[in-house]
Amino acid sequence: MKILVIDDDTAVLKYLRAILKHNGFNVLTADSGHKAFELLSKNQDVTIVITDIIMPEQEGIEIIRKIKSKHPHIKIVAISGGGKMSSESYLQLAYAAGANATLKKPFGDRELLNTLHHL
């Protein structure tokens, strides 16, 4: 199973890549929406996208909407630690935009893996 992780925080990308690879997933990472869509165009076998909501170049809500319109078969997990609003508010918006699951930062390895297996 191939997963694309989108987050502007390098530490989060490294953490998620390590957990996912250790558990047998094929992982791609992008630090922006632009890079994520480049990867999606070259990797038609991505089945899950994990995306942060608050990012400087392109918000996660916009990324979710775009992925759902172009790649409706891809499952999306939205992650957020909050910002101007609470993380719960951002995650509710993510569900409304088409996310299949959400996780509030910080989350643990087991919580992430359980979420992925339920998809």
In the prediction, which pLDDT does 10 show? 95
Closest CA to 45 of 73, 16, 14: 73
The reported pTM is 0.94
90, pLDDT greater than 90: no
Phi-psi region of 82 (alpha: psi -120 to 50; beta: other; left: phi over 0): left
Q: Which residues, 6+ apart, have CB-to-CB distance to 79 below 8 Å?
A: 7, 50, 51, 52, 53, 102, 103, 104, 105, 107
pLDDT for 12 equals 94
Average pLDDT estimate for 42-57: 94
Average pLDDT, the chain: 93
Q: What is the pLDDT of residues 9-45, one digit of tens each?
A: 999 999 999 999 999 999 999 999 999 999 999 999 9
**pLDDT at position 85 over 70:** no
Cα 61 to its chain centre, rounded Å, is 11
Share of the chain above pLDDT 70, in %: 95
Compute the distance between CA of residue 19 and CA of residue 12 in angstroms, rounded to an integer.
Answer: 11
